[in-house]
Chain A
Amino acid sequence: KQEVTQIPAALSVPEGENLVLNCSFTDSAIYNLQWFRQDPGKGLTSLLLIQSSQREQTSGRLNASLDKSSGRSTLYIAASQPGDSATYLCAPPASNSGYALNFGKGTSLLVTP
């Protein structure tokens, strides 16, 4: 079974800081890896999808990297804003079947004004 670990579990930063969220997974035989954000009481919003052939993917102030060989992905958020406050989840597909995304427990981010 694909095990996903996200570090840190929680993070509080002042507005304007650059920050890095870490994700590690146990099975590197993945097609892709997706990053999501979840706001309280809401569903998940897709942020970035990195294909296994890519090393980086960028969207606005977000940059995600993928190192399959080491089983790691990082999400870099530049110039953080209070609106970035949410839980961030990484999700590589399940190993062996490739059907379902396995989710980490997420990093809870609070950006203070």
Chain B
Amino acid sequence: GAGVSQSPSNKVTEKGKDVELRCDPISGHTALYWYRQRLGQGLEFLIYFQGNSAPDKSGLPSDRFSAERTGESVSTLTIQRTQQEDSAVYLCASSLWGRGTGELFFGEGSRLTVL
């Protein structure tokens, strides 16, 4: 597609359930990033992929969070046993080059609400 696509755009779930958030980066972009933005807060880095590998997972807040990328394309962020503090907008970005050297393009985000 022309831009970064994320789904679902909105997700409401009950505490304790697992959720999966999907990101389709711009075709040909080798680098992919996940960020989280809590209400009224700044962006928090979660994880960075170069190709299908994740050389930087330092931002994942707990072992309930995991992510994978396949085919150097689609990425899925999985949150297990969701908690209310996981409520946030999860943003995905991609760039042509990695290591922070390329211009980042963001999707519209997936808004997660945990009841």
Contact = CB atoms under 8 A, between A and B. Distances in A.
Answer yes or no: are A and B bound together in one complex. Answer: yes
Interface of A: 30-32, 34, 36, 42-46, 49, 89, 91, 93-94, 97-106
Contacts of A91: 104
Contacts of B108: 42-43
Interface stretch (B13-21, B40-48, B67-75, B77-85): B40-48
A-B CB proximity, top 9 nearest: A93-B100, A100-B45, A44-B106, A103-B43, A43-B106, A99-B56, A43-B108, A98-B100, A49-B103
Best-surrounded residue of A30, A34, A45 (most CB of chain B within 10 A): A34
Interface residues of B, number: 25
Contacts of B101: 31-32, 93, 98
B42 A100 contact: no
Contacts of B56: 97, 99-100
Contacts of B35: 103
B103 A46 contact: yes
Nearest to B3: A43
**Most chain B C-beta atoms within 10 Å of own C-beta, residue among A42, A89, A97, A101:** A101
Contacts of B103: 34, 46, 49
B33 A100 contact: yes
A30 B100 CA distance: 9
